Structure 1
Amino acid sequence: MRRAIGTGATLALLALAAIVLWGALRGKPQDLPWTPLDLGAPVGAATGRKLAALGDDAPRCRALLVQAGIRYTALPARRPAGAARCGYDDAVRLTAGGARRIAFAPATVGTSCAVAAALAMWEWNVVTPAARRHFGQPVTLVEHFGSYSCRRMYGRDAGAWSEHATANALDIAAFRLADGTRVSVVGDWQDTGAKGRFLREVRDGACDLFATVLSPDYNAAHRDHFHLDQADRGAMAWRACR
């Protein structure tokens, strides 16, 4: 057991050293775990973990939104009586305009600030470039199935609580292009043309920004949406991308 722990620690240190060397050679601060997060910077090797860490620092998260020109409304804290594992203190509602051009439908959705920050970076770095590549036009609307829901995973009566229970997740259902074309997860995931390629590209790009990304490739429960969340698993912990 002692040898296994020592081996694990050594591998973790080697991985950290490799990241440091890689970041230094590339000259990109977003690849280094200790440099400040900038939502307007390109996505780097450490960006996803920095975004997830914002869940522990709501004031800093909101300040980063302002710095990046992201319009939002801070939502009142929500703590349902008799539901100790549900609710939120730092949720925000993103609005289109400013540095963001994509709206949400329904527009009333609120998420944790960490999810909101990642959504903005996903729009800029992944969704908009992918839409222009595959369709020659931008996405103007993202349809979703909601964020906050006081429940355990998969709606079970027991077991782990869902990240939805704290508004730390959002389920993405479809994208609307500028000309009105709709690209949906349930209808176009198996498409072999531009729609299918677009969906896989935005799924894969989300994996660099969210702690958890689940798609139809994961299981039947996700056949009609992408689940995106910012579960806090620690600075060097695993990330789920499927």
Structure 2
Amino acid sequence: MRQFLIALLIFVVVGGPLALYRQWIDVPPRWNPWAPLDLRDTPNWLTAYKLRRLQGDAELCRTVLDTSALRYVALPDSTPAADCPLTNTVRVQGSEMRLSSSFIATCPVAAAFALFERHGLQPAAEQRFGQRVVQVDHVGSFACRTIAGSQRRSQHASANALDIVGFRLADGRRISVLRDWPGEDDKSLFLRQVQQAACSSFNTTLGPDYNAAHRDHFHLDMGGFRMCR
């Protein structure tokens, strides 16, 4: 009996994933860890893993981006500033909503942004205001610099981060992280909901409660450390 249980455990731990990888058993792509992420699907417990797979695979990442409404242009690897090479990057031009300007980002950041827009940002706006966000205001993604007060490279140095300062609704209302984060009105509650949604899509999400340097924006990145503050 003990040997049977050991054999069963080995099959579950090794044989199950191998069967999925070799496609010996058929499961829906959203539940197959080796199937490309479809950004239209509701996120599940495999989503974070599938996003991590995009880090070193530009072809896979662009396949994933094409399942979203994101408008982008793939960029060649380059070194626009000394000691800050850019690899696996795209220029994000917009989606079903506008951007205050286009931005360069790693393909995984672009994928996380598309996931965040569809499954976090727009549902929050519709729930809170009964309308959609039509523009995201940001202050950039790429900056060849270190983290303030340290010698560590910022995720911005590899275009692996985006700083969002506000949103515009379909009726023209503007929502500012700096102005509207304090308080308990609809705008401040919306911003808190949006921050939590961002935490589900990005590896790191930092906002005004993190420190004074983030009082006016949400910092979103796909670095190696998971943090939601």
Q: By the TM > 0.5 criterion, same fold? A: yes
Query: Which aligned pairs between 1:145-224 and structure 2 lie closer than 5 A?
Result: 145-154=139-148, 156=149, 159-224=151-216
Contact 1:31 1:46 in 2 (8 A): yes
SS at match of 1:63: helix
Give me the whole-angstrom Cα distance separating, in 2, the residues matched to 1:179 and 1:94.
Answer: 24
SS at match of 1:61: helix
Offset of residue 50 of structure 1: 2.2
Offset of residue 69 of structure 1: 4.6
Q: Residue 176 of structure 2 aligns to which amino acid in structure 1?
A: S
Moved over 6 A (4+): none
**Aligned residue number for residue 73 of structure 2:** 73
Query: Which aligned pairs between 1:224-239 and structure 2 lie closer than 5 A?
Result: 224-231=216-223, 233=224, 239=226
Give me the whole-angstrom Cα distance separating, in 2, the residues matched to 1:61 and 1:213.
Answer: 21
Query: Which aligned pairs between 1:42-53 and structure 2 lie closer than 5 A?
Result: 42-53=42-53
Offset of residue 35 of structure 1: 5.0
SS at match of 1:43: coil
Offset of residue 30 of structure 1: 4.8
Offset of residue 186 of structure 1: 0.5
**Aligned residue number for residue 101 of structure 1:** 96
Give me the whole-angstrom Cα distance separating, in 1, the residues matched to 2:28 and 2:200.
Answer: 16
Q: Does 1:55 align with 2:55?
A: yes
What TM-score comes out, normalization by structure 1 length? 0.77
Give me the whole-angstrom Cα distance separating, in 1, the residues matched to 2:171 and 2:50.
Answer: 35
Give me the whole-angstrom Cα distance separating, in 2, the residues matched to 1:69 and 1:128.
Answer: 13
**Aligned residue number for residue 6 of structure 2:** none
Q: Residue 137 of structure 2 aligns to which amino acid in structure 1?
A: E
**Aligned residue number for residue 135 of structure 1:** 129
Q: Deviations over 1:40-96 (max 9, x none)?
A: 111112313422331211111011112335321123433146x33x12122212233
**Aligned residue number for residue 91 of structure 1:** 89
Give me the whole-angstrom Cα distance separating, in 1, the residues matched to 2:192 and 2:198.
Answer: 10
Q: 1:36 to 1:94 in 2, by over 3 A?
A: same
Give me the whole-angstrom Cα distance separating, in 1, the residues matched to 2:104 and 2:202.
Answer: 17
Q: Deviations over 1:13-39 (max 9, x none)?
A: xxxx9xx9xxxxxx9875775554221
Give me the whole-angstrom Cα distance separating, in 2, the residues matched to 1:31 and 1:153.
Answer: 37
Give me the whole-angstrom Cα distance separating, in 1, the residues matched to 2:68 and 2:102.
Answer: 22
Give me the whole-angstrom Cα distance separating, in 2, the residues matched to 1:160 and 1:122.
Answer: 27
Q: Which has the higher contact order (CA 8 A, sep 6+)?
A: 1
Q: Residue 186 of structure 2 aligns to which amino acid in structure 1?
A: A
**Aligned residue number for residue 144 of structure 1:** 138
What TM-score comes out, normalization by structure 2 length? 0.82
Greater Rg over alpha carbons, structure: 2
Q: Residue 166 of structure 1 aligns to which amino acid in structure 2?
A: S
> Between the two proteins, what is the percent identity of the paired residues?
46
Name stretches of at least 5 consecutive residues in structure 1 with no aligned partner: 1-16, 21-26
- Over the aligned positions, Cα root-mean-square deviation in angstroms equals 2.2
Give me the whole-angstrom Cα distance separating, in 2, the residues matched to 1:69 and 1:191.
Answer: 33
Q: 1:227 to 1:49 in 2, by over 3 A?
A: farther
Q: Residue 134 of structure 2 aligns to which amino acid in structure 1?
A: T
Contact 2:36 2:64 in 1 (8 A): no
Query: Which aligned pairs between 1:15-34 and structure 2 lie closer than 5 A?
Result: 30=30, 33-34=33-34
Q: Deviations over 1:74-124 (max 9, x none)?
A: 23433146x33x12122212233xxx311111x231111100011111111
